[in-house]
Amino acid sequence: MTLIIRSKTVTTTTGQWHFVLHGGCSETCADADRQRETVENLRSVAESVSNALSQGATAKEVVVLAVAALEDCPTFNAGHGAALNEEGVHQLEAGIVDGATKAYGAVGLLETTKNPIRLANELLENGPHTIIVGRAADDLAKELGLETVPNSYFTTPFRITLSERSKGKKIVSGGSGTVGAVVLDSHGQLAAGGSTGGGTGKKDGRLGDTALLGAGLYADDRISVVCSGAGDEILKHSVAAAVAQYHSNGYNLRDAARQALAPVSQAGASCSVVALDANGESVVESNARHFPVSWGSSSTSPESLIHPTTIPVLQTHIFYQDNQLIIGHSRYPSTRGHTLAAFKTDVESLFDLSLDEFVRAMKAIRTVTSAVRKFYQVGRCALITEGKNVLSIWPLHGLGRDWKPITSDVKEYQKSFPGYISSYDGPMMASEQLDEICSKIRSVSGLSDPLNYRFDGPDDDNNLFARIIRGELSQWRVWEDDEHVAFLTPFPNTDGFTVLAPRAHLSSDVLSLEEQSYTKLMAAAHTVAGILMTAFGAERCGMIFEGFEINHAHIKLIPIHAPVDPPFDTVAPFHETYQGYVSSLQGPICPDCPGLVRTSQTLRQKIVAPESASPPRSWSDPSRHLLTVLQDPWYEVLFTVQDTLFHTSTDFFRKSHGYQYCLVPSTTDAVSSPMGLGSDSLPVSVSLLGQSTYLADSMQFALEYFLRIRDTVPGVYYISTSFRGEDHDARHVNQFHHVECELRGSFAQGIKIAEGYILNLVATLLRDHASLIQASTADGSGRLDHLTSLHDYAKSHGGRFPQIALDDALSLPTMQNTKAEIIWRPVSDSDSSKGRTLTPLGERRLLEHFGGGPVWVTEMDHLSVPFYQAYTDSARRKARCADLLLGSGEVLGLGERHVSADEVRHALNLHQVADKGKYKWYTDVRESKPLQTVGWGMGIERFLAWVFRHDDIRDLLIVPRLKGMSFAP
Residues with a catalytic annotation lie at 178
Burial tier of 874 (Cβ tally within 10 Å: 0-12, 13-18, 19+): exposed
Cα dihedral: 942, 943, 948, 949 (round 10): 70
CB 182 within 8 A of CB 225: yes
> Which amino acid, 369?
T
- What is the Cα Rg of the chain in Å? 32
Candidates 597, 596, 612; CA nearest to 771 is: 612
CB 670 within 8 A of CB 921: yes
The residue count of the chain comes to 969
- Residue 939 pairs in a beta bridge with 738
What CA–CA distance (Å, rounded) separates 806 from 386? 59
Burial pattern 210-236, b for ≥16 Cβ within 10 A else e, equals bbbbbbbbbbbeebbbbbbbbbbbbbe
DSSP conformation class of 132:
E
Q: 91 in helix, strand or coil?
A: coil
Burial tier of 307 (Cβ tally within 10 Å: 0-12, 13-18, 19+): buried
**C-alpha to C-alpha distances, 625 to 198, 643, 735, 901, 965, nearest whole angstrom:** 64, 21, 16, 48, 11
The answer to whether the Cα torsion of 60, 65, 68, 69 is positive or negative is negative
Q: What is the DSSP string of 710-778?
A: -TT--EEEEEEEEE--SPPBTTB-SEEEEEEEEEES-HHHHHHHHHHHHHHHHHHHHHHHHHHHHTT-T
DSSP conformation class of 863:
G
The answer to whether the Cα torsion of 865, 871, 872, 874 is positive or negative is positive
What CA–CA distance (Å, rounded) separates 231 from 93? 12
Candidates 64, 769, 567; CA nearest to 72 is: 64
Beta carbons within 8 Å of 873's beta carbon, 6+ residues apart:
none
